[in-house]
Chain A
Amino acid sequence: EVQLVESGGGLVQPGRSLRLSCAASGFIFDDYAMHWVRQAPGKGLEWVSGISWNSGRIGYADSVKGRFTISRDNGKNSLYLQMNSLRGEDMALYYCAKGSGSYFSYYYMDVWGKGTTVTVSS
């Protein structure tokens, strides 16, 4: 069974950092692109970042560019999101999602995790 389990969320003060992780299982991790998508309380979905199978191509939403860094460790079947200079508007449920192919810019998201919550507050 394909499974994605996010972790690392929590309460953080504005301006601080947090690192999210996503543990993948049930599929050949290094064959697929991966994404982070977030959902603020009561709001819609927002794509945050995507990474191709070999980390060769990476993309970010304008709202997080320069502050967030996506990475993956294919040896550990894991995806990460390093979030720096956090703001109130970054507060959301962060989902890890599997791409349906190798490159993040073309293939849709076919499997989603349950998400991890990030709360930004002083």
Chain B
Amino acid sequence: QSVLTQPPSVSGAPGQRVTISCTGSSSNIGAGYDVHWYQQLPGTAPKLLIYANSDRPSGVPDRFSGSKSGTSASLAITGLQAEDEADYYCQSYDSSLSGWVFGGGTKLTAL
């Protein structure tokens, strides 16, 4: 059971908009710690996708966006493309555990 809760899977047709939620608690997201998102393409290492809730590293398309409110965060992908098929993980710091926590991951399928 992960400290951050994500849906196991989401899907969408090419060109559509999909969102992935990440729900935490008062010791992590709700405590004000930033949320970060990672994309893991099949058979590869994770890659930073969104940092500090809504910022994109250079090279990440603006189709990807993040937001945070209260004890939750979400990742939105607009104009879905087949190459976006991957596992997506949210991450935050947890003060009760004194360590980093990840969501269980969400598998995105482009139909």
Residues of A in contact with B (beta carbons under 8 Å apart): 35, 37, 44-47, 50, 59-62, 95, 100, 105-106, 108-115
* Bound Cα distance from A46 to B38, whole angstroms: 13
Picked from A50, A112, A113, A114, the residue with its CB within 8 Å of the CB of B100 is A50
State whether the Cβ of B111 lies closer than 8 Å to any Cβ in chain A.
Answer: no
State whether the Cβ of B30 lies closer than 8 Å to any Cβ in chain A.
Answer: no
Q: Which residues of B lie under 8 Å from residue A61 when comparing CB positions?
A: 97, 99
**B99/A45 in contact, CB under 8 A:** no
**A114/B45 in contact, CB under 8 A:** yes
Q: Which residue of B lies closest to A112 (CB)?
A: B45
Q: Which residue of B lies closest to A105 (CB)?
A: B93
**A44/B105 in contact, CB under 8 A:** yes
Picked from B34, B51, B89, B97, the residue with its CB within 8 Å of the CB of A45 is B89
What would be 20 A-B contacts, judged by CB atoms less than 8 Å apart? A44-B2, A44-B87, A44-B102, A45-B38, A45-B46, A45-B105, A46-B102, A47-B91, A47-B101, A50-B100, A59-B98, A61-B97, A62-B97, A100-B51, A108-B36, A109-B38, A109-B91, A112-B47, A113-B45, A115-B45
**A59/B99 in contact, CB under 8 A:** yes
* Residue of A44, A46, A59, A109 with most chain B CB atoms under a 10 A cut-off: A44
* Bound Cα distance from A100 to B51, whole angstroms: 10
Q: Which 6 A-B pairs have the closest CB atoms?
A: A47-B100, A44-B105, A108-B36, A112-B45, A45-B102, A59-B99
Q: Which residues of A lie under 8 Å from residue B87 when comparing CB positions?
A: 44
**B48/A110 in contact, CB under 8 A:** yes
Take A45-B102, A45-B105 as given contacts and tell me if A108 and B48 are in contact as well, using a CB distance cutoff of 8 Å.
yes
Picked from A35, A50, A95, A105, the residue with its CB within 8 Å of the CB of B45 is A95
* Bound Cα distance from A50 to B53, whole angstroms: 21
